[in-house]
Amino acid sequence: MIGGWLDWDTDAAIYRRQIGFGASTCLKFAPNRQSEHIQLYLPERLPLPNTPEFKAAMIQQVLRLCRGGMLGQRHPARPTPEWLTLARRPAVIIVEDVPLRAQVAAALAAEFGSTVQVERSPLPADGILICSWQFWRRGQQQLPTPQLLAIATLPIPSLEHPLVASRVAYHKRQHQDWFRHYLLPTALRELQRAVQPMRQAQGVVALLDSRASRRSYGPKILEALEPLARINYIDWLS
């Protein structure tokens, strides 16, 4: 099997168990740390996604991030972040929750007008695309590489989906840690595939889900995103 991130263990034990592999030899081809890293913005004080305060705080973060990309010269006396000096490229905002996706689109459209589109292609060079994980997964090879990829929440499978619920029930019957053996590895594989186009362009990935920094599994998320360079350029916009 040749592909992206599979497991956090060197022998990919969880992945091999999921697909029925027996003993195997695993080789890891790591990205080049100099030329294939991403710039990661990970705010640590955002409310958790399951709190009432998350929606407003997340939308404000997205607005400020997009203002930085579109209006990089608003403070010409201050040093310009490296990513703003690149050729103009679009921004992509991944929001899985349908009502929240509509609210994010409305807030951005009020400021940026017709450059904002929801799950529609082609994407202009100065456009802002708001989409689901599925739309980005299917279209990321055809769409232009964005200069900003903002992720509202981690792609942890929903227990409301019947197939997900069935898999979780199976792990429970096997007396296994269903989050560590199924939900988290699935989310990390999805996350790594999503940011892959950003590596060659060394674009900015904004992960707005504070579980990545406040939960015990946070280091696993950062490990799956390696190589990366942590940035905090949003302070420059304040």
Predicted pLDDT of residue 126: 84
The residue to which tokens 């579109």 are assigned: 70
Q: How large is the C-alpha radius of gyration of the chain?
A: 18
Helix (H, G, I), strand (E, B) or coil at 156: coil
Q: Which residue has the higher pLDDT, 176 or 86?
A: 176
Mean pLDDT of 224-228: 90
Measured in degrees and rounded to the nearest 5, phi and psi for residue 182 equal -130, -60
Summarize the chain as % helix, strand, coil (round to 5). 45, 10, 45
Contact in structure between 183 and 157 (CB atoms under 8 Å):
yes
Mean pLDDT of 158-184: 93
pTM of the model: 0.82
Residues of the chain with CATH 3.40.50.300: 33-237
Residue 1 scores a pLDDT above 60: no
Residue range 189-223, pLDDT digits in tens:
899 889 988 988 878 999 999 999 999 999 999 98
Residue 81 scores a pLDDT above 50: no
What whole-number distance in Å separates Cα of residue 2 and Cα of residue 229? Answer: 26
Task: From 218, 238, 235, 229, select the one nearest 40 (Cα to Cα).
Answer: 229
Predicted pLDDT of residue 86: 41
Residue 23 scores a pLDDT above 80: no
Residue 102 scores a pLDDT above 60: yes
Residues forming beta bridges with residue 128, ordered by sequence position: 91, 116
Specify burial of residue 99 (Cβ count, 10 A radius: 0-12, 13-18, 19+). Answer: exposed
Task: Identify the H or E element spanning 214.
Answer: helix 211-214
Predicted pLDDT of residue 211: 95
Q: Which residue has the higher pLDDT, 208 or 16?
A: 208
Predicted pLDDT of residue 75: 37
Q: Which residue has the higher pLDDT, 140 or 116?
A: 116
Helix (H, G, I), strand (E, B) or coil at 230: strand
Ranges of H-type helices in 40-158: 54-70, 98-112, 133-139
CA distances from 196 to 29, 36, 145, 169 (A): 14, 9, 10, 31
pLDDT classification of 234: cutoffs 50, 70, 90: low
Mean pLDDT of 154-175: 94
| Mean pLDDT taken over the chain | 84
Class assignment of domain 33-237?
Answer: alpha beta
Residue range 33-75, pLDDT digits in tens:
666 789 999 987 899 999 999 999 999 999 999 887 654 433 3
Helix (H, G, I), strand (E, B) or coil at 39: strand
Question: Pairing between strand 116-118 and 128-131?
Answer: parallel
